[in-house]
Amino acid sequence: MPWSQLSPMDQKTQFIADYLRRSLSVTELCEHYGISRKSGYKWIERYEHGGLASLAERSRRPHVCPTQTPEEVVQALIETRERHPSWGAKKLLAFLSGRHPDGWPGRPAPPSATSSLGTA
C-alpha cells in the first residue's frame, strides 16, 4: 500500500473537520497536525469568514511596489531601444536624460533599465 501524502489543502480541510467535531481543543488539534496555534486560529478564522475556498493558498506577492520603474519611463526606454538596438542601458539613459534637461522624474539606475528592457 503506498504512503498517504496529503496536500496542504487536504490537511487544512481535515483540520477544520476535526475542529467542527469539537473532539479536541484547538491546541491539541494544532499539536496533532504539527502546526502552530497561530496558523490554526488563522485557518479557523478564514474558514468562518469564507468557507473552504478561503483556505486555499494565497499569493504572497505585494500589491504594489513603490520602487518600480514608472511605466512611461519603461516605454520611453523600449521605444528608444527599438530605434537604437545596439545601445546599452547606460547610453539609452544618457540619451533620454538629454531630452529632459529639467530633470527626468523616475529615472532608473542602469541595472534597473537593463532589467526593464529584458522584461519587455
Alpha carbons 71 and 33: distance in angstroms, whole number = 46
Which helix (H) or strand (E) segment holds residue 107: the answer is: none
Question: Which pLDDT score, from 0 to 100, does residue 72 have?
Answer: 84
pTM for this entry: 0.54
pLDDT in tens, 34-81: 999 999 999 999 999 999 899 988 888 888 888 888 888 888 889 999
Residue 105 has pLDDT above 80, yes or no: no
Closest CA to 43 of 35, 31, 63: 35
Alpha carbons 80 and 86: distance in angstroms, whole number = 11
Residue with cell 545596439: 86
Percent share of the chain, pLDDT over 90: 41
Question: Which pLDDT score, from 0 to 100, does residue 119 have?
Answer: 60
Side chain identity, residue 69: T
Closest CA to 92 of 114, 71, 72, 70: 114
What average pLDDT does this structure show over 8-15? 90
Question: Which pLDDT score, from 0 to 100, does residue 37 have?
Answer: 96
Question: Which pLDDT score, from 0 to 100, does residue 1 have?
Answer: 47
Question: Which pLDDT band holds residue 96 (cuts at 50, 70, 90)?
Answer: confident
Question: Which pLDDT score, from 0 to 100, does residue 25 have?
Answer: 95
